[in-house]
Amino acid sequence: MIKTKNLKKVYTTEEVETTALNNVNFEVKKGEFVSIMGPSGCGKSTLLNLIGLLDNPTDGEYLFGDQEVSRFSERQRANLRKHNIGFVFQSFNLIDELTVFENIELPLLYQKVSASDRRKRVNEAMEKMEIVHRKNHFPQQLSGGQQQRVAVARAIMADPKLILADEPTGNLDSSHGEEVMQMLLGLNEAGTTVVMVTHSPTYAEYGHRTVHLFDGHIVTENVNGKFHL
Amino acid sequence: MFKSHLKIALRHLIKRRGFAFINIAGLAVGMACSMLILLWVWEEYSYDRFHEKADRIVRVCARGRIGDTVIDQTSTCAPLPGTLMMDYPEVEQAVRILRGNAPVQYGDRVFVESGMLIADSTFFDVFSFPLLRGDRRTVLSAPDACVITQTMARKYFGDEDPINKVLTVAGYYRFRVTGIMKEVPANSHVHFNGVFSLASVREMSANDAWMSNSFATYLVLREGFPYRSLEAKFPDFIRRHFGPDESKIISAAGNKWEYYLQPLTSIHLDSHVTSELEPNGNRTYVTFFILIAAFILCIASVNFMNLATAKSSLRSREVGVRKASGASRLQLVRQFLSESVFTVFLAAVLSVGIMELAMPAFNNLTGKALSLGSLAGGTTLPVVLALVLVLGVLSGSYPAFFLSSFKPVAALKGQPSEGAGKSRLRNGLVLFQFSISIILFVGTLMVHRQLVYMQAENLGFSAENILVIRNYSGVPNRSFKAALRECPGVVISSGSETVPGYPFRNMVATPEQWKEITLDWNACDCEFLETMGMRMAQGRFFSRDFGADTSAIVINETAARLLGWKDPLGKIIWFSGRPLTVIGTVRDFHYESKLNKIEPSGMVLLGSPGFTENAVVVKLRTENVPETVSAVKALWDRHVQGTPFDYGFLDEEYDNLYRNEMRTEKIFAVFSCLAIAIACLGLFGLSAFAAERRTKEIGIRKVLGASVANLAALLSYEFTQWVVWANLLAWPVAWYAMKRWLQNFAYQIPMDWRVFLLSGLLALAVALLTVIYQAVRAATANPVDSLKYE
């Protein structure tokens, strides 16, 4: 599904060069659930952003499917993103001025889906995430767990092949965290590839495989023994 | 998609009401101001275009030089149009017009009509003034015909049918009403209450002298015939038709005489010659006001842009999310542009309301009768919508491109990339706004000072408490003037042909040892000098003690200087065949406005042949003026029968010369205040935003021991420094603009650096007041709160 070769990301400010990722070789197969762990500042989110095509690498190769995308223009990346990738963020990143319904609807708007179709699909997603009763609320009126459910609903709206979750449970208490993990797991079992960054070893074990990052390098890769059914 | 853009725009506005208010209100006021000004400009450009043949009508003017006098006038001679039509088939129609004031009587109703035209029968065929009754081609063909306006008809005839009623004009001429016309449109270069047939004034219409110029002459040219080609034929025309005497005058050494043409539609803005039918507009002012309108619109949209970019950090996360959800840059640009167009649209709706409310005040200010609907004839709406689109896109473009350029990663982290470039742009825009405000301030102050200077200082006569009574008979009223002498409220009085502020007749005389000189003439009684508070430079004024004063002349200093006479007393000036002896030189006085230079002028005693008493000037005591005026009226009614008491105060009438300038001053003042108010509104928003953005910094500084005063100064300095710099930009521009404006006047005030300094300080003070509130508020906040905030 995705494959990186000697991926490198250097942040340059006026005087300081910070290497966030250094020669990362990383592969995710179709249908996999991969967890990424590591201390703060080790480059987890940078890697996720590169995978998610939110940012371009400084050097190295990145194959998405069988396309080399590391030198894509903003427009090409936007295009690829909107049909293939769904994002779930730690801070939910819902737009405060849009209602639950409108937030979930957003990706479909950019895919120019017709209004009636949009309504149908958003309603289905809300049912799946059990937030139909909140459809006209604004994000501030929801609990953290509910907000993340909205965010997940939005992420799956476009039927992405890949879901990227950046510490999706970071702002949630354990019961809500568990809930979100179950949802991701469910999506994965239905065939969606999931890459998740997390601090929590417990949640990392939901994945088939855990990748440990340290100072921009991949240090270990564990295949998780236990499978949840 | 569009609906969703609108929705989010609206929710943003509601969420940040304060900002939204500043944004929309500022823009609305700016739009209203500039649209009002543009409405005015539009009207100025629309003058005389309502005539069907507007693009084919031209006016013939004469210019040249006789002696030392430069002539450029609308007045031409009686035989001109007829001869032109005979000689040149491309002249299809022509009309001669005279404008006058006279008492008009019907039964016991007598009024002095100040706007009367005496014109050829072709008048309504050449011009398209709307007729309500009567046939355009024949309505004036009878020699005693006249066409009056509805209002005038009502004034004399009430509900009676005015057709075929007879009006007596100036106690002598009798005119039969043959037609009724609508009021003359405001955007006509001449206004009148009625048109009277010229044929009945035979001594004028049949005057065949080529150098006796009293008519305004209008021609209708053949379709598509360029008026310049006709102009080219004029030199030959003059050679063929001017008589030997006339040819001698115009061909004498240094003398010159030529005709030229003015397109009807350019008269209002471009014609500034002698004997205009009405004071015209001024293209310079129109240009000035277009600039002011553009300036105000700029200031308002700059606010809009500034606040929108300042606010952008709040939108960065939204940009990130949208990008992550698949929005392309173009889609985001479109979103932000439609938001800004939407906001501008709200402002436009508000501005139409403001315009409607401000219209009476604006009309009062400009002396026009504009309305939103009438003038533009239904084009207001498309114009407003076009303006909305243009403004929305223009002022939204920077924020739109700026916001949409956010890198999704940075945007999602919610870190506004407050680059140096952006704040530089913002500061540059503040600099720009305040430069304009300062320029407008300088303009206001300079115009004001020039006006004060023109109206009050060194006129060479005193215009205060002088009553001017118009004497339409032209015959001196000895018994009335004698009675005035006994009237307790009257200091002194004198008859006179004309008074300062009114035209002086311009005639050629021959001083000894000179060929010719053109003088501005007046004739008056012996008391004129004292009544007007004028002073002699040399010699004496007319006196009853000298019987020979009927052949005496008093000249002004300019005349003496021009003639090179160190001691003019006793010199002879020949005028219409009679020798006049110079008995004195009067100190120069401004009988015209200070727009014009003082010309050589001469005064003779009333009763000299060729002069009439058109006015009685009465110097009143300062106390009980209204009582004195009614006493004088009582005397007038007793001694002068058949002519209504028509009077004015000299100072007010003289000030009328500056109507244009006074209006400019007021408009300048109002709009420069508005401009700076709008600029300050923007500054207020920006400073609020800066204070919010810098809360953390303020908290840290406070913890480290900064005082409130320190912090307030720090925050105020961020913006006020740009106002200081704005002066450097504004002063040279203002200097240049005012220098050019002052060139309109023959007598100018000097440029004064204090005006510039004062304007700068004023702008600074206003700006400081605006930002200090936010600065102090931010500086007095509890540092614990501000540190927690981040």
Check if B11 contacts A (Cβ < 8 Å). Answer: yes
Q: What does the pLDDT look like over B26-47, one tens digit per residue?
A: 889 998 988 888 888 888 898 9
Instruction: Report the pLDDT value the prediction gives residue B222, as an integer from 0 to 100.
Output: 94
- Mean local confidence (pLDDT), B231-254: 88
Residue A105: which of A125, A91, A86 has the closest Cα?
A: A125
Q: Which chain B residues are Cβ-neighbours of A79 within 8 angstroms?
A: 326, 328
Q: What does the pLDDT look like over B481-498, one tens digit per residue?
A: 899 988 989 999 999 999
Give the helix ranges, DSSP H, for B608-658. Answer: 625-639, 650-655
Q: Is the pLDDT of residue B217 over 90?
A: yes
Contact criterion met (CB < 8 Å) for B324 and A87 = yes
Residue B105 tokens, joined = 């009587």
Contact criterion met (CB < 8 Å) for A97 and B412 = no
Nearest neighbour of A55 by CB, restricted to B15, B328, B407:
B407
Nearest neighbour of A109 by CB, restricted to B4, B11, B321:
B4
Q: What does the pLDDT look like over B505-514, one tens digit per residue?
A: 877 788 888 7
Closest-CA residue of chain B to A87:
B324
Question: Which of A11-25, B157-171, B305-319 shows the lowest per-residue confidence on average (mean pLDDT)?
Answer: B305-319
- Mean local confidence (pLDDT), B298-308: 82
- Mean local confidence (pLDDT), B457-466: 84
Question: What residues contact B735, with CB distance under 8 A and at least 6 apart?
Answer: B751, B756
Check if A13 contacts B (Cβ < 8 Å). Answer: no
Question: What residues contact B686, with CB distance under 8 A and at least 6 apart?
Answer: B306, B307, B310, B426, B430, B719
Instruction: Report the pLDDT value the prediction gives residue B700, as an integer from 0 to 100.
Output: 72
Closest-CA residue of chain A to B412:
A93
**Which whole-number Å values give the CA distances from A42 to A37, A51, A166, B459, in the listed order?**
9, 16, 14, 87
The answer to whether residue B114 is domain-embedded is yes
Q: Which of A81, A117, A157 to mutate against chain B (most B CBs within 10 Å)?
A: A81
Higher pLDDT: B610 or A27? It is: A27
pTM metric for this prediction: 0.74
Check if A75 contacts B (Cβ < 8 Å). Answer: yes
The answer to whether residue B400 is domain-embedded is no
- Mean local confidence (pLDDT), B425-448: 86
Measured distance CA(A195)–CA(A28) in Å, rounded: 8
- Mean local confidence (pLDDT), A189-200: 90
| CA B11 to chain CA mean position, Å | 46
Quick one: pLDDT band at residue B548, thresholds 50, 70, 90? confident
Mean pLDDT computed over every residue of chain B: 85
Residue B488 tokens, joined = 């307790």
Asked if residue B600 lies in contact with residue B519, where contact means CB atoms within 8 angstroms, the answer is yes
Instruction: Report the pLDDT value the prediction gives residue B153, as an integer from 0 to 100.
Output: 94
- Residues of chain B above pLDDT 90, percent: 33
Measured distance CA(B336)–CA(A95) in Å, rounded: 15
The answer to whether residue B141 is domain-embedded is yes
Q: How many domains in chain B?
A: 2
Check if B334 contacts A (Cβ < 8 Å). Answer: no
Residue A164: which of A109, A221, A89 has the closest Cα?
A: A89
Check if B314 contacts A (Cβ < 8 Å). Answer: no
ipTM of predicted assembly, 2 dp:
0.70
The A67-68 sheet, strands edge to edge: A17-28, A2-12, A59-64, A67-68
Half-sphere CA count of B241, side-chain side, radius 13 A: 22
- Mean local confidence (pLDDT), B578-586: 93
Check if A74 contacts B (Cβ < 8 Å). Answer: yes
Angle at B62 between CA B59 and CA B64, to 5 degrees: 155
- Mean local confidence (pLDDT), B608-620: 88
Quick one: pLDDT band at residue B415, thresholds 50, 70, 90? low
Nearest neighbour of A78 by CB, restricted to B327, B407, B412:
B327
Q: Which chain A residues are Cβ-neighbours of B405 within 8 angstroms?
A: none
Mean pLDDT computed over every residue of chain A: 86
- Mean local confidence (pLDDT), B81-102: 92
Check if A19 contacts B (Cβ < 8 Å). Answer: no
Q: Which residues pair with B96 in a beta bridge?
A: B217
Q: What does the pLDDT look like over B49-64, one tens digit per residue?
A: 999 999 999 999 999 8
Quick one: pLDDT band at residue B790, thresholds 50, 70, 90? very low
Nearest-CA distance A106 → chain B (Å):
7
Quick one: pLDDT band at residue B789, thresholds 50, 70, 90? very low
CB neighbours of residue B321 within 10 Å:
24
* Encoded amino acid at B49, one letter: R
- The long-range contacts involving B754-762, CB below 8 angstroms and separated by at least 24 positions, are B755/B442, B755/B445, B755/B446, B755/B449, B756/B442, B756/B727, B756/B731, B758/B441, B758/B445, B759/B438, B759/B441, B759/B442, B759/B445, B759/B730, B759/B734, B760/B438, B760/B724, B760/B726, B760/B727, B760/B730, B760/B731, B762/B441
Measured distance CA(B1)–CA(B80) in Å, rounded: 71
Check if B412 contacts A (Cβ < 8 Å). Answer: yes
Which residue carries 């014109």 as its tokens? Answer: B119
Asked if residue B54 lies in contact with residue B264, where contact means CB atoms within 8 angstroms, the answer is yes
Helix H or strand E segment including B254: none
Question: What residues contact B700, with CB distance under 8 A and at least 6 apart?
Answer: B783, B787
Instruction: Report the pLDDT value the prediction gives residue B63, as an integer from 0 to 100.
Output: 92
| CA B569 to chain CA mean position, Å | 43
Tell which A residues from 161 to 220 touch B, by Cβ distance under 8 Å.
none
Chosen domain end from B251, B283, B316: B251
Q: Which of B325, B401, B409 to mutate against chain A (most A CBs within 10 Å)?
A: B325
Chosen domain end from B613, B642, B657: B657
**DSSP for residue B242:** S
Domain extent at residue B184: 76-251
Instruction: Report the pLDDT value the prediction gives residue A228, as an integer from 0 to 100.
Output: 43
Instruction: Report the pLDDT value the prediction gives residue B612, as an integer from 0 to 100.
Output: 85
Contact criterion met (CB < 8 Å) for B324 and A75 = no
Q: Could you write out the DSSP letters of every residue in chain A?
A: -EEEEEEEEEEE-SS-EEEEEEEEEEEE-TT-EEEEE--TTSSHHHHHHHHTTSS--SEEEEEETTEE-TT--HHHHHHHHHHHEEEEETT----TTS-HHHHHHHHHHHTT--HHHHHHHHHHHHHHTT-GGGTT--GGGS-HHHHHHHHHHHHHTT--SEEEEESTTTTS-HHHHHHHHHHHHHHHHTT-EEEEE-S-HHHHTTSSEEEEEETTEEEEEEE------
Quick one: pLDDT band at residue B226, thresholds 50, 70, 90? very high
Closest-CA residue of chain B to A89:
B412
Contact criterion met (CB < 8 Å) for A97 and B409 = no
Quick one: pLDDT band at residue B377, thresholds 50, 70, 90? low
Higher pLDDT: B15 or B174? It is: B174
Helix H or strand E segment including B6: helix B2-15
Question: What residues contact A25, with CB distance under 8 A and at least 6 apart?
Answer: A4, A5, A6, A7, A218
The answer to whether residue B130 is domain-embedded is yes
CB environment B545-558: b (16+ within 10 A), e (fewer) = eeeebeebbbbbbb
The answer to whether residue B550 is domain-embedded is yes
CB environment B162-191: b (16+ within 10 A), e (fewer) = beebebbbbeebebebbbbbeebbebbbbb
Q: Which residues pair with A62 in a beta bridge?
A: A4
Instruction: Report the pLDDT value the prediction gives residue B604, as an integer from 0 to 100.
Output: 93
Instruction: Report the pLDDT value the prediction gives residue B223, as an integer from 0 to 100.
Output: 93
**Number of separate helices (H) and strands (E) present in chain B:** 25, 23
Q: What does the pLDDT look like over B141-172, one tens digit per residue?
A: 999 999 999 999 999 999 999 999 999 988 78
Q: Is the pLDDT of residue B705 over 80?
A: no
Closest-CA residue of chain B to A47:
B409
* Encoded amino acid at B185, one letter: P
Higher pLDDT: A41 or B735? It is: B735
Asked if residue B269 lies in contact with residue B47, where contact means CB atoms within 8 angstroms, the answer is yes
The answer to whether residue B330 is domain-embedded is no
The answer to whether residue B729 is domain-embedded is no
Nearest neighbour of B324 by CB, restricted to A54, A74, A112:
A54
Nearest-CA distance B1 → chain A (Å):
6
Check if A89 contacts B (Cβ < 8 Å). Answer: yes
Measured distance CA(B240)–CA(B373) in Å, rounded: 52
Chosen domain end from B640, B657, B674: B657
Burial environment of residue A16 by CB neighbours within 10 A (0 to 12, 13 to 18, 19 or more): exposed
The A217-223 sheet, strands edge to edge: A85-89, A162-166, A193-197, A33-37, A209-214, A217-223
Residue B785 tokens, joined = 């709160």
Nearest-CA distance A176 → chain B (Å):
23
Q: What does the pLDDT look like over B348-366, one tens digit per residue?
A: 889 888 988 998 988 888 8
Asked if residue B502 lies in contact with residue B463, where contact means CB atoms within 8 angstroms, the answer is no
Check if B5 contacts A (Cβ < 8 Å). Answer: no
Closest-CA residue of chain B to A53:
B324
Contact criterion met (CB < 8 Å) for A107 and B412 = no
Q: What does the pLDDT look like over B258-294, one tens digit per residue?
A: 999 999 999 999 988 878 888 788 888 888 888 888 8
Q: Which of A79, A104, A110 to mutate against chain B (most B CBs within 10 Å)?
A: A110
Measured distance CA(B615)–CA(B719) in Å, rounded: 61
Instruction: Report the pLDDT value the prediction gives residue A227, as an integer from 0 to 100.
Output: 47
Contact criterion met (CB < 8 Å) for B329 and A74 = yes
Check if A87 contacts B (Cβ < 8 Å). Answer: yes
Check if A106 contacts B (Cβ < 8 Å). Answer: yes
**DSSP for residue B217:** E
Size of interface A-B (CB pairs under 8 A): 71
Quick one: pLDDT band at residue B467, thresholds 50, 70, 90? very high
Q: What does the pLDDT look like over A44-79, one tens digit per residue?
A: 888 888 888 888 888 899 999 888 988 888 778 878
The answer to whether residue B290 is domain-embedded is no
Closest-CA residue of chain A to B4:
A102
Instruction: Report the pLDDT value the prediction gives residue B68, as an integer from 0 to 100.
Output: 65
Nearest neighbour of B325 by CB, restricted to A74, A96, A107:
A107
Question: What residues contact B449, with CB distance under 8 A and at least 6 apart?
Answer: B749, B752, B755
Nearest-CA distance A54 → chain B (Å):
6
Contact criterion met (CB < 8 Å) for A111 and B326 = yes
Measured distance CA(B560)–CA(B145) in Å, rounded: 49
Measured distance CA(B78)–CA(B100) in Å, rounded: 16
Q: Could you write out the DSSP letters of every residue in B570-603?
A: T-EEEETTEEEEEEEEEPP--SS-TTSPPPPEEE
Check if A154 contacts B (Cβ < 8 Å). Answer: yes
Measured distance CA(B777)–CA(B757) in Å, rounded: 30
